[in-house]
Amino acid sequence: APQLIIYDLDGVITDTAEFHFLAWKKLAEELGITFDRQFNEQLKGISRMDSLDRILALGESAASLSAEEKLELATRKNGYYLELIEEINPGHILPGIEALLDDNKQAGIKIALGSASKNAPHILDKLELSDYFDYIVDAAQVTKGKPDPETFTNAADALGIAYENCIGIEDAAAGVDAINSAGMFSVAVGEQAHLGHAHYRVDHTQDLVFQDIIERFHNQPK
């Protein structure tokens, strides 16, 4: 039976995935690099510096920049992002998520956060959701970001739970890869075109229903 559900933050619990996109887009435009939502799918779940590297590579300007210059750009993007999330409050929790967390807690199944974001603890506080979580993966202690499984295995290891008894919930292709390579059951929210490799996928967060997820977990082909 499942003993732990690990939630991604940006794009699953709240719509900060959109704010990351807007902040990167603003920075990229300042650099004369244009990208669209299709390209942005590749950035979801990817750390701040790795995201910057992908954008610079797209603009073919990666090689010309020093480490200091890159840090300045990443910090600038985070500044834009912080402006966008300033107003975040519990009203920004995506539909269905609070019911899901409530049902998860009532079932006695542990809850963890598996986010690559250094802003994650701050955002959870603003959403007033911190109390639900038994464990939060600290972006600083993860050396290999998604699609590496480390973000998810860290949470399971910290709580002493076997990977096969864990479920991960993601909106990013790289996140689903991470859950799958951890040997966990992957649940995705979003489009089939990006997330077809998940064990179970729904279109919208309100379709993330606790009983459905548990049923799918039990019916997965072994």
Which residues are catalytic, by number?
8, 10
Which residues in 165-184 contact Mg ion (CB under 5 A)? 171-172
CB of 106 to ligand G6P, least distance (A): 28
Using rule CB under 6 A, residue 110 touches ligand G6P: no
Using rule CB under 5 A, residue 2 touches Mg ion: no
Span from 43-51, 61-69, 94-102, 160-168 in contact with ligand G6P (CB under 6 A): 43-51
Q: Are the C-beta atoms of residues 124 and 17 closer than 8 Å to each other?
A: no
Using rule CB under 6 A, residue 47 touches ligand G6P: yes
Using rule CB under 6 A, residue 25 touches ligand G6P: no
Which residues in 6-45 contact Mg ion (CB under 5 A)? 8, 10-11
Using rule CB under 6 A, residue 41 touches ligand G6P: no
Q: Is the dihedral of CA 148, 116, 21, 100 positive or negative?
A: positive
Using rule CB under 6 A, residue 116 touches ligand G6P: yes
Cα 168 to Cα 155: distance, rounded to the nearest angstrom: 11
Burial class (CB in 10 A: 0-12, 13-18, 19+), 70: middle
Cα 13 to Cα 113: distance, rounded to the nearest angstrom: 10
Among 14, 104, 119, 180, binds ligand G6P (CB under 6 A): 119
Binding partner at 20 among Mg ion, ligand G6P, none, C-beta below 5 to 8 Å by kind: ligand G6P
Span from 99-107, 109-117, 124-132, 195-203 in contact with ligand G6P (CB under 6 A): 109-117
Residues of this chain that interact with Mg ion (CB under 5 A) are: 8, 10-11, 171-172
Residues of this chain that interact with ligand G6P (CB under 6 A) are: 10, 17, 20, 43-48, 51, 78, 115-119, 139, 172
